[in-house]
Amino acid sequence: MRANLLMIIVLCTPIGLPVVALAQDSKIEFTGMADQFVDDLLHRVRGLDLGLDVKLGRILGDRVAIAITKKIRMKDLDDADTSERVLKLLEYGFFDPDQISEAGDRQPAVSLFLADYLAEHCHVAALRLRASDLVTKLVALRSAMAGKVEL
C-alpha cells in the first residue's frame, strides 16, 4: 500500500497536483491532499480528465466528500456542471473501497449524504440516475462494513 501511495505522489508532482511532505513515519497529510484534489477538479477545464484522478480519489474515500463540503454550498449543486463534477469526485472516492488508505475514510457518511442529495435534487435526469446508483453502492458498502464490525 505504501508503495502505491509513493507512486501516486511521484506521478502527481510533475502535473501540479497536491503533494504534501511525508512525515518521518511516511504518513501523508490526506486532508490537504483531498482539499487540493477537489479544488483542482472543480476548477479544471471541462472535459480534461486525468487518469490519475481515479488513482488519487480512490485512496481518499469519504475525505473527498468532506473536502467538497468545504469548497461548495448546497445551492451550488443546482448548477448541472457543478453537480456532474461533484458526482464524479464522489465516484472516484469509492471507486475501489479496498484501496482507501485511512480506516475512517472507508465509512461513506458524507459521501452518502451528498450522493443522496444529488439523487433527489439534481435537475439533470442522467445525473440523478448516476447519483442514485452511487447511493445504492454506498449503502451496500456501509452495510457490509457494519456486518464486519459485528462479527
Cell 480506516 found at: 103
DSSP secondary structure of 34-86: HHHHHHHHHHSPTT---THHHHHHTTTTHHHHHHHHHH--GGGGGSHHHHHHH
- Residues 23-49: tens digit of each pLDDT: 333 345 888 888 988 988 888 777 666
- Per-residue pLDDT of 44-91, as tens digits, reads 777 666 667 778 888 999 999 999 999 999 999 999 999 999 999 999
The domain ranges of the chain are: 2-150
